[in-house]
Chain A
């Protein structure tokens, strides 16, 4: 759809300079991290009719009222650093860039909480907390660019999730503007969980209250395992000794780390464990326990000299792309118990060229990033084909009780697989009440009809494409 003049005027009157619909702006907002080839436009309308930059909650409220009244799709966007299409339009309409919202930051030292606006970049928030002796409990590896609002909307996990869980576990309260225009404060856990991972389909988050913790120094410990089966055993047992973060790579990725950052890590499955340590005795105690656990699981301890400053590359995965012309990526959450064979198969995929980087997100599951690096710039068809191949591999992961990292656009239809049947039921009921006209980020979470052949859903179309186009 294209905005009718009358409707456009209403938005312009409301937002003034915060409304733009020139072609350049629209094009720039037509993507997220995944720069998909033009051919994928067969699947969706990735160019919006306009982009808006509201600065207050009141402006967002009025914006939603106008959108609902005129049935204009509204797609919220924050950092745009994920590649699941969550912030890309499916049915044109308006993109709401939350970066315009007034910045807010209030640390409550006694409650150990912080009040922030959704557009706050996570590394900036962490820096400000660190200045006051505090730290976020967990945060994504796209730390330097992801925003706190985007992370929550994706239902993300990340560094520290082994100990403190994901986005949902950090939230104390959310201020949201519902698609009806109602402003609401959400504090109950069962309501909060509807918004986490909802990709902005239930409205727009305008303020967040998060748990924080004292900033305790992190110390790193490393070990290696020979096979995915051993790795799984290692991950399971190390999870029991209460580390802050458990981060691991497959041998192919280790090879790349060695080349890019000058390490000499053994080219096996490597686990880097981080532990919050305040004093030396605690370090010695953990070291003993870690060594014992790794040996019991059949792994080898990595001399700590091998991993000096390795935490410094924690947020630099993309640096490995320097030597390459193109890359593709996808992400999945997997259970330790049932995924070792899947991991084995995945590692041998594409002539063993797949890079895997994982992070434990609790005691039982881990998130797994898959990367493919290319020495040549991919043509549109090859890019689509390899993307679909990665997509197929995520779908295969579902068969071993895994689930996509988030729904976004590309995994819309998998909400139930991610959050369970009960939550999906609640989500749908709530969505019906707060967004009767379905204007808030259509195409996300609930699978839309496939643009080219509306008898089937996008979910089915992608499933078929990944099966037959390869």
Chain B
């Protein structure tokens, strides 16, 4: 199992390697706030100051105040790391500085409250564990025979699809797809714990690791070889964070629902019954495209619709705009989320699409808010919901 040392990077060394080219000025937070102290290269300069032995305590305090504020305004979209010309592991640096802020007792109360909710209730909402499968009851599905059953495939529902009323139909749609393809699958039910993504994003290595270990043990117990999820955050956690945290012990294949659906269409296990006529666009979630390099599968899935009216957003794939909802920014500055999101909403408007398809519950929620504010007649749905409509014939 990997250690904390293996997980961490030498933040000062990374900061010193910055060549100040400024390519990371595409950071969505910096683009809104416009102060150099919120520019990734400016944050790296603050790190250099913070860890400098030559500065006085007064300046260190001043720097830490600004530094901790700046790192918590990051949406974790990874655009900075993607464009970084000298390949600096910037996201790891931001995570570690967030952890440093925790150690210094400098987290804001909302963040601390989320951290405690996840730690104590194993979900981001702080709701009872028994309610984790209430989505099934609400959608009239009987999941008892699928819960904690031995199967090669597990559907990891995630906190948002499990608990949030707004996301309720994502879980329902995934189950419909799996049933339609007659796959033998299981869900963890009340034994499912938050993937730990918010904890890791906040820089919590040790607590996050207990979540990773628990979920792995559950998968092992049920003989799971492959996990499917419709949440980009969970997908990133399984794909990138768990291997870092658990090392070789984590040997489970992970697929996003768009990848699985694409596979099922190719194998003719899914067929399109309802050819959707509305104009569709796809917003690449940062955690899928920039963190995990997944951008083809959702497009392949959409292509299965006969005579599909599909329009790419002007910024797509690796260049897609961030919705502003990631990186726990909602807990730190909701107004900034709206500002970042407004550029994405303008692109959606420009595309003239009637349906925005997405693969991340956080993006979905944020985009829905933006659409509502502009009173646009656009439907925002998850890729699982789209596939379910395609194969179920439900309009």
B46 with A24: CB separation less than 8 A: yes
Q: Of B16, B36, B49, which contacts A80 at CB under 8 A?
A: B36
* A108 on the B face (CB < 8 A): no
Q: Of A22, A28, A99, A119, which contacts B45 at CB under 8 A?
A: A28
B86 with A28: CB separation less than 8 A: no
A321 with B25: CB separation less than 8 A: no
* Given A25-B37, A97-B35, also A145-B49 (CB < 8 A): no
* B326 on the A face (CB < 8 A): no
Q: Of B25, B45, B59, B85, which contacts A23 at CB under 8 A?
A: B59
Q: Of B25, B35, B83, B85, which contacts A25 at CB under 8 A?
A: B35
Q: Determine how close the nearest CB of chain A comes to the CB of B28; give it in whole angstroms.
A: 12
Which residue on chain A has the smallest CB distance to residue B20?
A33
| B1-35 interface with A by 8 A CB criterion | 16-17, 19-26, 34-35
B36 with A327: CB separation less than 8 A: no
| A1-38 interface with B by 8 A CB criterion | 20, 22-25, 27-29, 31-33, 35
| Bound Cα distance from A141 to B66, whole angstroms | 32
Q: Determine how close the nearest CB of chain B comes to the CB of A168; give it in whole angstroms.
A: 23
* B62 on the A face (CB < 8 A): yes
Which residue on chain A has the smallest CB distance to residue B36?
A28
Q: How many B residues have CB within 8 A of the partner chain? A: 29
| Bound Cα distance from A142 to B314, whole angstroms | 23
A318 with B59: CB separation less than 8 A: no
Which residue on chain B has the smallest CB distance to residue A53?
B34
Q: Of B45, B85, B314, which contacts A316 at CB under 8 A?
A: B85
Q: Provide the residues of chain A in CB contact with B63, threshold 8 Å.
A: 23-24, 27
* Given A53-B35, A97-B35, A319-B86, also A28-B26 (CB < 8 A): no
A27 with B49: CB separation less than 8 A: yes
A142 with B21: CB separation less than 8 A: yes
Interface string of A316-344 (1 = CB under 8 A from B): 10110110010100000000000000000
* A377 on the B face (CB < 8 A): yes
* B251 on the A face (CB < 8 A): no
B21 with A145: CB separation less than 8 A: yes
Q: How many A residues have CB within 8 A of the partner chain? A: 36
| Bound Cα distance from A29 to B87, whole angstroms | 24
| Bound Cα distance from A20 to B69, whole angstroms | 15
A144 with B45: CB separation less than 8 A: no
* B42 on the A face (CB < 8 A): yes
A142 with B34: CB separation less than 8 A: no
A35 with B20: CB separation less than 8 A: yes
Number of A-B contacts defined by CB within 8 Å: 88
A318 with B34: CB separation less than 8 A: no
| Bound Cα distance from A327 to B17, whole angstroms | 10
A24 with B21: CB separation less than 8 A: no
B19 with A327: CB separation less than 8 A: yes
* Given A28-B36, A28-B37, also A145-B46 (CB < 8 A): no
A318 with B85: CB separation less than 8 A: yes
Q: Provide the residues of chain A in CB contact with B45, threshold 8 Å.
A: 27-28, 31
Q: Is the interface of B mostly helix, strand, loop or mixed?
A: helix
| Bound Cα distance from A27 to B48, whole angstroms | 11
Interface string of B46-81 (1 = CB under 8 A from A): 100100000000010011011100000000000000
| Bound Cα distance from A279 to B35, whole angstroms | 45
Q: Provide the residues of chain A in CB contact with B67, threshold 8 Å.
A: 24
A145 with B22: CB separation less than 8 A: yes
| Bound Cα distance from A81 to B42, whole angstroms | 13
Q: Provide the residues of chain A in CB contact with B20, threshold 8 Å.
A: 31-33, 35, 80-81
* A131 on the B face (CB < 8 A): yes
| Bound Cα distance from A377 to B18, whole angstroms | 12
* A273 on the B face (CB < 8 A): no
| B75-121 interface with A by 8 A CB criterion | 83, 85-87
Interface string of A130-170 (1 = CB under 8 A from B): 01000000000010111000000000000000000000000
Interface string of A230-273 (1 = CB under 8 A from B): 00000000000000000000000000000000000000000000
* A176 on the B face (CB < 8 A): no
B86 with A318: CB separation less than 8 A: yes
B19 with A142: CB separation less than 8 A: no
A99 with B19: CB separation less than 8 A: no
* A100 on the B face (CB < 8 A): yes
Which residue on chain B has the smallest CB distance to residue A33?
B20
| B252-305 interface with A by 8 A CB criterion | none
Q: Determine how close the nearest CB of chain A comes to the CB of B321; give it in whole angstroms.
A: 12
| Bound Cα distance from A124 to B20, whole angstroms | 19
* A358 on the B face (CB < 8 A): no
* Given A28-B36, A53-B35, also A79-B86 (CB < 8 A): no
| B159-188 interface with A by 8 A CB criterion | none
Interface string of A50-69 (1 = CB under 8 A from B): 01010000000000000000
| A374-403 interface with B by 8 A CB criterion | 377
Q: Determine how close the nearest CB of chain A comes to the CB of B66; give it in whole angstroms.
A: 4
| Bound Cα distance from A316 to B85, whole angstroms | 7
**What are the nearest 5 A-B pairs in CB distance?**
A145-B22, A99-B34, A318-B85, A144-B23, A24-B66
Binding site for B on A (CB under 8 A): 20, 22-25, 27-29, 31-33, 35, 51, 53, 79-81, 97, 99-100, 119, 121, 124, 131, 142, 144-146, 316, 318-319, 321-322, 325, 327, 377
Known: A80-B20, A121-B25, A322-B87. 15 other contacts (CB 8 A): A22-B66, A27-B45, A27-B49, A28-B37, A28-B45, A33-B22, A35-B20, A53-B34, A79-B25, A81-B21, A100-B34, A142-B22, A145-B22, A318-B19, A327-B19
A selection of 21 A-B contacts at a CB cut-off of 8 Å is A20-B35, A24-B37, A24-B46, A24-B59, A24-B66, A25-B35, A25-B36, A27-B63, A28-B42, A32-B20, A33-B20, A35-B20, A53-B34, A80-B36, A81-B22, A100-B34, A119-B34, A145-B21, A145-B24, A319-B85, A322-B86
